[in-house]
Amino acid sequence: MSLSMYQASVPPIVRFLESLSTILDKAAAFAEANKIKPEVMIGYRLRPDMLPLSAQIQIATDQVKGFVSRVAGAEVPSFPDTEATFADLKARVAKTIAHIKSFTPAQIDGTENKDIAFKAGPNELKFKGEQYLTTWVLPNFYFHITTAYAILRHCGVPLGKRDYLGPA
């Protein structure tokens, strides 16, 4: 039995976005309990040359909303990168989940060999559908989700592996 493009993408993406939303709840509660201004945590980065927490979440959500839209032949929605609070970040995650869930398996499956091309900064990227998912979207998505988790752990938010992976 082979794994379809839909099964390889939508369920795990939604699961990790839902976990991210829960992690953001814990971060907001931690900030409030410890009298930390949320904007400090949202703007925090692990190194001066890294992007802050807000950008990690923006990029992760951009990756996956772009994926489902492109392979389904739909317009990629534009979300302005203006999130300044934990509620704003959670709303972006929720909007991304809703967008991803709006696609059916029939719109995603069978796109393994579909030509995908888009601009990333000054570069034009070209992939086949399966390659786009496995070598670009998922690695980038998990990288930015993991980095967001690491930033919050570094800030002291009591998170563990179960928070990252989500419920069993």
CATH assignment of the domain containing 153: 1.20.120.450
| Greatest C-alpha distance within the chain | 52
Do residues 127 and 69 touch, judged by C-beta distance below 8 A?
no
Tokens of 55: 């950008």
* Average pLDDT of span 37-53: 96
Owner of token pair 């930015």: 144
Residue 82's CB is within 10 A of a number of other CB atoms, namely 9
For 36, the enclosing helix (H) or strand (E) is none
Examine the pLDDT at 86 and tell me if it is beyond 90.
Answer: yes
Residue 17's CB is within 10 A of a number of other CB atoms, namely 22
Q: In the predicted model, what is the mean pLDDT of the chain?
A: 96
* Average pLDDT of span 16-41: 97
* Average pLDDT of span 132-158: 97
pLDDT confidence band for 121 (50 / 70 / 90): confident
Closest to 21 in 3D by CA, of 98, 81, 93, 111: 93
Domain that holds residue 96: 5-165
Examine the pLDDT at 1 and tell me if it is beyond 70.
Answer: no
Counted domains in the chain: 1
Predicted local confidence at residue 21, as pLDDT: 97
